[in-house]
């Protein structure tokens, strides 16, 4: 048993990679501390296109290992969190002036067979003149491919990994910045803002866009690899089409753009790919980004999407390994792990990566650290559910019926949202509630005091932004006055940790 403030492993960074590594390590018997300077998933990990996907376009760059790994992970993660991750069909209209039909067909054949697909249906060809997916498209698009990937709530996926890590003994510390890290007596001593210290035998730098800054400003070491910061912007607009499939559009500049059903009443459009220089904390989607995305989808849709129609814009910086690609969209999405020894103390830095492969990245990280651990349990996450996901991947309807039978007083839209967000833990959240009064104060859009209290107690939420934009997307529905009322309520409530 480690002494208070002493750990086998310290992880800097509360995004998907940091939380995934903390979860894996805690489940293998290591004592773990995770330090996040802000909220969980506050940066890149909440600014994705929300996809668990193989990366169809990466085949053009011959990234077969990455695509194979990502394709296989789709179904691993679907089984681990069937409430949070769901299969989705993507319609790829053929644009004769861009990639030829045979090239797309070949790529999709590989896509269907590289990953050992068992659950997700394969590719098919659509006649857009007779398929519902063609109704929203310009008549000049007459045929398309339809293939499978998965959708998820990215920031909640991060939180679930942190919850599972904490349940297995990890110390998750949000709003805790590591100011300095130095080696003394063969172990790392980490000095936190405010002067507190902790010690760890091993250190993982999973700070995402800040990975180089941690190395130079906190660890005082040169970076073993360069990162290329690539900005990805998205917009959310009122729903553009009536079916539940997504579109993948090819753009004339070689990029691709998705239009994805989002939160029932909206469509998510993204992403851009452009090099970014500056503080990652200052990244934002601009009017120019919105114009680009609107034009990208308007080139395909019958009803054009006008700039200014977005109800939400967001952007993130992806910390990709700098592989010398001439264009940002061509830079590798693969991850690289670099292990350095400092006076006998291991330092592992994470460069690049993508949401889909975070679990495999964590396994690879623990494999590199294994020689420096006296006893390490075997890899375990491939068949372990995430919190709330302990039911069959196709068992959501049965769970829905159980929730309705027990909490019939709840309006169906609220039950649906709680089930999708919390899975089997929705029963724990609602507890012995027998009517709406038992849920406490309402803040609007189906958010009640009982859920807010749950998020503060078990998911490290502290602010209205944490709740409305990361633990949920109710910020799309609440008024500014409702959000202010929630913030005021939270400011009067003592913070709690999971």
> pLDDT per residue over 352-380, tens digit each?
889 999 999 999 999 999 999 999 999 99
Other beta carbons within 10 angstroms of residue 322's beta carbon come to: 15
Structure tokens at 335: 């991850």
Q: Comparing 224-238, 434-448, 463-477, which segment has the lowest mean pLDDT?
A: 224-238
Distance CA 420, CA 416 (A): 6
Distance CA 71, CA 150 (A): 10
Residue 4 scores a pLDDT above 70 = no
Residue 334 scores a pLDDT above 90 = no
C-beta of residue 425 within 8 angstroms of C-beta of residue 388: yes
Q: Which of 213, 93, 75, 69 is nearest to 147 (CA)?
A: 93
In this prediction, residue 60 carries a pLDDT of 84
Q: Comparing 24-38, 67-81, 96-110, 229-243, which segment has the lowest mean pLDDT?
A: 96-110
In this prediction, residue 212 carries a pLDDT of 93
Distance CA 58, CA 487 (A): 42
Residue 211 scores a pLDDT above 80 = yes
In this prediction, residue 497 carries a pLDDT of 47
In this prediction, residue 498 carries a pLDDT of 47
> pLDDT per residue over 102-161, tens digit each?
999 999 999 999 988 999 999 999 999 999 999 999 999 999 999 999 999 999 999 999
Provide mean pLDDT across the span 54-75. 91
> pLDDT per residue over 169-194, tens digit each?
999 999 999 999 999 999 999 999 99
Distance CA 33, CA 169 (A): 9
Distance CA 478, CA 449 (A): 15
List the beta strands (DSSP E) in 45-186: 51-52, 85-93, 124-127, 143-152, 171-173, 178-184
Q: Which of 12, 9, 15, 47 is nearest to 28 (CA)?
A: 9
Provide mean pLDDT across the span 258-283. 95
Structure tokens at 14: 């509360």
Residue 305, CA distances (Å) to 267, 281, 292, 297, 476 in order: 11, 29, 11, 7, 19
Provide mean pLDDT across the span 305-321. 94
Pair type for strands 6-12 and 32-35: parallel
Pair type for strands 6-12 and 266-270: unpaired
Structure tokens at 222: 């040169």
C-beta of residue 78 within 8 angstroms of C-beta of residue 52: yes
Residues 6+ apart with CB under 8 A from 220: 182
In this prediction, residue 365 carries a pLDDT of 98
Instruction: Give the DSSP H or E segment for 59.
Output: none
Provide mean pLDDT across the span 372-393. 97
Give me the domains of the chain, ranges plus CATH numbers: 6-44+155-226+333-383 (3.50.50.60), 79-152+228-323 (3.30.9.10), 396-491 (1.10.8.870)
Residue 327 scores a pLDDT above 70 = no
Instruction: Assign 11 to helix, strand or coil.
Output: strand
Bridge partners of 301, per DSSP, are 137
Provide mean pLDDT across the span 64-73. 94
Residue length of the chain = 498
Average pLDDT over the chain, rounded to an integer: 94
């Amino acid at each position: 048993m480690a002494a208070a403030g002493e750990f086998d492993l310290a992880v800097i960074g509360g995004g998907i990679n940091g939380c995934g590594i903390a979860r894996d390590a805690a489940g293998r018997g290591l004592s773990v501390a995770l330090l996040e300077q802000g909220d969980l998933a506050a940066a890149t990990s909440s600014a994705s296109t929300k996809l668990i996907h193989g990366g169809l376009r990466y085949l053009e760059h011959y990234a077969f290992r990455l695509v194979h790994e990502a394709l296989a992970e789709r179904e691993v993660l679907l089984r681990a969190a069937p409430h949070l991750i769901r299969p989705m069909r993507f319609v790829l209209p053929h644009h004769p002036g861009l990639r030829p039909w045979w090239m797309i067909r070949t790529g999709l054949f590989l896509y269907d067979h590289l990953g050992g697909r068992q659950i997700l249906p394969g590719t098919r060809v659509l006649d857009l003149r007779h398929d519902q997916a063609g109704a929203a498209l310009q008549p000049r698009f007459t045929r398309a491919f339809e293939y499978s990937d998965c959708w998820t709530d990215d920031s909640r996926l991060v939180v679930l990994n942190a919850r599972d890590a904490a349940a297995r003994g990890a110390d998750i510390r949000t709003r805790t910045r590591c100011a300095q890290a130095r080696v003394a007596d063969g172990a790392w001593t980490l000095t936190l803002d405010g002067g507190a210290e902790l010690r760890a035998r091993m250190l993982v730098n999973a700070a995402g866009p800040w990975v180089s800054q941690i190395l130079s400003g906190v660890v005082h070491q040169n970076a073993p690899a360069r990162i290329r910061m690539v900005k990805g912007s998205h917009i959310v607009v009122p729903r553009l089409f009536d079916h539940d499939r997504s579109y993948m559009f090819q753009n004339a500049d070689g990029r691709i753009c998705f239009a994805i059903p989002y939160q029932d009443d909206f469509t998510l459009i993204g992403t851009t790919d452009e090099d970014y220089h500056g503080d990652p904390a200052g990244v934002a989607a601009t009017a120019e980004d919105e114009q680009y995305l609107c034009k990208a989808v308007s080139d395909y849709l019958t009803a054009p999407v006008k700039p200014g129609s977005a109800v939400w814009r967001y952007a993130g910086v992806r910390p990709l390994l700098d592989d010398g690609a001439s264009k940002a969209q061509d830079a590798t999405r693969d991850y690289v792990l670099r292990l350095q020894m400092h006076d006998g103390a291991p330092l592992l830095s994470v460069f690049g990566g993508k949401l889909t492969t975070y679990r495999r990245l964590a396994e690879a990280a623990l494999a590199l650290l294994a020689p420096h651990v006296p006893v390490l349990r075997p890899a375990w996450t491939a068949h372990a559910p995430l919190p709330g996901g302990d039911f069959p991947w196709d068992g959501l309807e049965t769970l829905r019926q159980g929730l309705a039978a027990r909490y019939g007083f709840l309006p169906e839209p609220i039950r649906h949202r709680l089930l999708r967000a919390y899975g089997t833990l929705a029963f724990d959240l609602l507890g012995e509630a027998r009517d709406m009064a038992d849920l406490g104060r309402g803040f609007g859009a189906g958010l009640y005091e009982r859920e807010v209290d749950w998020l503060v107690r078990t998911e490290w939420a502290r602010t209205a932004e944490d709740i409305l934009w990361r633990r949920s997307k109710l910020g799309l529905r609440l008024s500014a006055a409702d959000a202010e009322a929630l913030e005021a309520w939270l400011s009067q409530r003592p913070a709690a940790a999971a």
